[in-house]
Amino acid sequence: AQTVTQSQPEMSVQEAETVTLSCTYDTSESDYYLFWYKQPPSRQMILVIRQEAYKQQNATENRFSVNFQKAAKSFSLKISDSQLGDAAMYFCAYRNLPGAGSYQLTFGKGTKLSVIP
């Protein structure tokens, strides 16, 4: 079974600064999807960014980018120019490709990000 580990229960960043959230995962598959979800205090679940493991290029979405290290099974999220609205729980998640066993999202325990004005 796949596992996702987020080793930082809480992080804080100064407004306008950059912060990196860590995520590692364990899988025997060679291809898969990885995601970062944001959960603000409203407790919605919002997709921030996703990465296909077969793609070498790291995904970026505006101020959000990932550092995907396949060999190390690491998938960190970098938030640049942090804004007050970025304060939330961030969840890293893993998903198999179709036909490769279970296809549900497996989530880490989350990192609570605080943004200091």
Partner 1 sequence: GAGVSQSPRYKVTKRGQDVALRCDPISGHVSLYWYRQALGQGPEFLTYFNYEAQQDKSGLPNDRFSAERPEGSISTLTIQRTEQRDSAMYRCASSLEGASSYNSPLHFGNGTRLTVT
The contact set with partner 1 (CB under 8 A) reads 4, 35, 42-45, 47, 50, 91, 93, 98-99, 102-110
Q: Quick one: which of 45, 50, 117 has its CA closest to 85? A: 117
Nearer to partner 1 among residue 13 and residue 108 (C-beta): 108
> How far is the C-alpha of 27 from the C-alpha of 3, rounded, in Å?
7
21/108 with CB nearer partner 1: 108
Tell me if residue 102 falls in helix, strand or coil.
coil
- CB of 95 closer than 8 Å to CB of 35: yes
Residue (44 or 60) nearer to partner 1, CB: 44
Q: In the bound complex, what is the minimum distance in angstroms from residue 103's beta carbon to partner 1?
A: 4
